């Protein structure tokens, strides 16, 4: 009996399938071949067609924050296992694997940064950490983001990229929706702007709570944004959805968001919004 032949590990779909894998990337929008270095230098926006590939949280820091620096808050908070959940692999084991993969302790980072010289309370979901899912710690950190912004009278900029509530924490994850929104409502009293940036994808409990509650809701082109995914809705309702349903352009046409902004113009746009909404307050 012959042994099965070893096969090479599969490559990411965005990588050119040649010996240049890792050096070259293939654009998901126009299929153009671009060096990985050039794409990274352009913050994962294709220079040929403008397609926005997913940008990691460290890239967003470099893009939005002055000198790419954030003074992190509550970074020591880590999830526990309140339900003893297992799906063939224990929840703590999945958390450890996610922490290694995402180089982060949780799916949200918060802190104080500066955007075009303006001091802000900054938060960003990390989709690489369990799909940016919101559990007890992530919800607590978003809540504390608004509470610190209230105490220090800071504008809030929060970047969302999430698959929704974290199933491994059950109802405890869903409770974070109300808790975070309550903190946001208390933040309104200081009359500082909240700019919500909805990235690809923003779904589930995050979309159903604070993501759409910004004073200005900014989205990237063609981002998938909504509660349940299109396939789930089609299978449940047994219907065909409109073309472009739950994409940024559809949401703008239907009044769900305020601005579609290219990633390369995001910092300038958010700075302008904060400056205008802060004047006279």
Structure tokens at 99: 């922490």
> For the chain (length 281 residues), average pLDDT per consecutive 10?
45 51 90 96 97 97 98 95 95 97 96 98 98 97 98 98 96 97 98 98 96 98 92 91 94 97 98 89 59
Residue 4 domain flag:
no
The answer to the question of residue 6 being in a domain is: no
- Model pLDDT, residue 9: 47
Global pTM?
A: 0.89
In this structure, what CATH number is given to the domain that contains residue 193? 3.90.226.10
Query: Do 41 and 131 belong to one domain?
Result: no
Report the chain's terminal Cα–Cα distance, integer Å: 79
Q: Note whether 39 and 156 are same-domain residues.
A: no
Q: How far is CA 205 from CA 82, 148, 232, in A?
A: 19, 22, 15
Between CA 137 and CA 169 the distance in angstroms is 10
DSSP 16-43: -SSTTBTTEEE-TTT--EEEHHHHHHTT
Assess whether 17 and 121 both reside in one domain.
Answer: no
CA distance 162 to 159: 10
Same domain, 37 and 119: no
| pLDDT of the residue at 19 | 52
What confidence score (pLDDT) does residue 180 get?
Answer: 98
Do 41 and 114 reside in the same domain of the chain?
A: no
Please tell me whether residues 68 and 44 are part of one structural domain.
no
pLDDT at residue 12, as a whole number = 53
Judging by DSSP bridges, how do beta strands 108-115 and 118-125 pair with one another?
Answer: antiparallel
Could you tell me if 28 and 167 lie in one domain? Answer: no
Tokens found for residue 232: 């789930």
Residue 2 belongs to a domain: no
| Residues found in the chain | 281
Total count of domains within the chain: 2
Together in a domain, 175 and 263: yes
Q: Looking at the domain assignment, is residue 73 inside a domain?
A: yes
Residue pair 129/106 in contact (Cβ under 8 Å)? The answer is yes
Are residues 239 and 196 part of one domain?
A: yes
Task: Give the structural domain span for 22.
Answer: 13-53
- For 171, residues 6+ apart whose C-beta sits below 8 A from its C-beta are none
């Amino acid at each position: 009996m012959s042994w099965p032949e070893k096969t090479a590990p599969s490559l990411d779909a965005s990588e050119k399938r040649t010996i240049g894998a890792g050096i070259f990337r293939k654009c998901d929008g126009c299929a153009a071949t671009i060096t990985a270095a050039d794409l990274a230098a352009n913050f994962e926006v294709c220079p040929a067609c403008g397609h926005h590939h997913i940008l990691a949280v460290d890239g967003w820091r470099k893009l939005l924050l002055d000198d790419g620096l954030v003074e992190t808050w509550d970074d020591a908070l880590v999830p526990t296992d309140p339900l003893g959940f297992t799906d063939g692999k224990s929840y703590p084991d999945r958390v450890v694997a996610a922490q290694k993969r995402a180089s982060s302790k949780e799916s949200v980072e918060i802190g104080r940064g500066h955007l075009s010289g303006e001091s802000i309370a900054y938060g960003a979901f990390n989709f690489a950490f369990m799909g940016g899912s919101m559990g007890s710690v992530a919800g607590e950190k978003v809540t504390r983001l608004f509470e610190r912004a209230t105490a220090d009278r800071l504008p809030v900029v929060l970047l969302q990229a999430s698959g929704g509530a974290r199933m491994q924490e059950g109802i405890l994850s869903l409770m974070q929706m109300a808790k975070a929104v309550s903190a946001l409502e208390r933040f309104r009293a200081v009359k500082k702007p909240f700019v919500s940036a909805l990235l690809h994808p923003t779904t589930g409990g995050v979309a159903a709570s604070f993501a759409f509650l910004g004073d200005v809701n900014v989205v990237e082109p063609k981002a998938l944004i909504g509660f349940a995914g299109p396939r789930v809705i089609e299978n449940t309702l047994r219907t065909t959805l409109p073309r472009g349903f739950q994409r940024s352009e559809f949401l703008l046409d239907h009044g769900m968001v305020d601005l579609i902004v290219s990633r390369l113009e995001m910092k300038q746009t958010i700075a302008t919004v904060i400056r205008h909404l802060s004047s006279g307050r």
